[in-house]
Amino acid sequence: MGVHAPALAPMVTVWVASVTPFTLRSPDQFRAPQTPALTSHRTPKTAEVKALGSFSNSARTPEQTDLALFWAANYQALWNQALRDLADAHLHNIAESARLFALANLAMADAVITVWDSKVHYLLWRPVTAIQEGDEDGNPETVGDPTWLPLIAAPAYRDYTSGANGVTGATTRSLAPFLERTT
């Protein structure tokens, strides 16, 4: 906490968007749809993120802080820990465990490639930028707060689309048939 990405830092690992996927035809096969315009009524307002996500003087509870810090971890590492727990509890041979890890990690890898394709394609700013530079987004309903800092440092890659949701969705979808068969 307390270390924040420099403003306008270039996006890291742009190359991930052009990696050849393992199980998909191309990185853009499942590209996310276009986001609504910043002036659209469908664009999320930043007030909740600003109130709950602030480094200091936040409206969040201690439990929300703990959850935020937990979910700020590497999703692939979190999922692999869950896979180890699933394998220990439900699988009784190395072949089935290896298959579980292979299927889930292929899904995770392709999800990251697809998500990065969308991030590079759309180049949507992160919430910290939206809050700090709200006066410059063309939306009269937003006001900038250049001194606002988030609890968790914004990574040096774009916000849209969510890598956490992409990895989690791909992993859970890949596990569903496997777990139905083994339970």
- The confidence score (pLDDT) of residue 35 equals 84
All structural domains of the chain with their residue ranges: 44-73+126-151, 74-124+160-183
Greatest mean pLDDT among 3-7, 29-33, 35-39, 88-92: 29-33
In the chain, the percentage of residues whose pLDDT exceeds 70 is: 90
- The confidence score (pLDDT) of residue 129 equals 85
How confident is the prediction for the chain on average, in pLDDT? 87
In tens, the pLDDT along 107-120 reads 999 999 999 999 99
Is the pLDDT higher at 71 or at 178?
71
The structure's pTM equals 0.84
In tens, the pLDDT along 99-156 reads 999 999 999 999 999 999 999 999 887 888 888 888 887 777 778 899 999 999 888 8
CA–CA separation, 67 and 60 (whole Å): 11
Binning pLDDT at 50, 70 and 90, where does residue 3 land?
very low
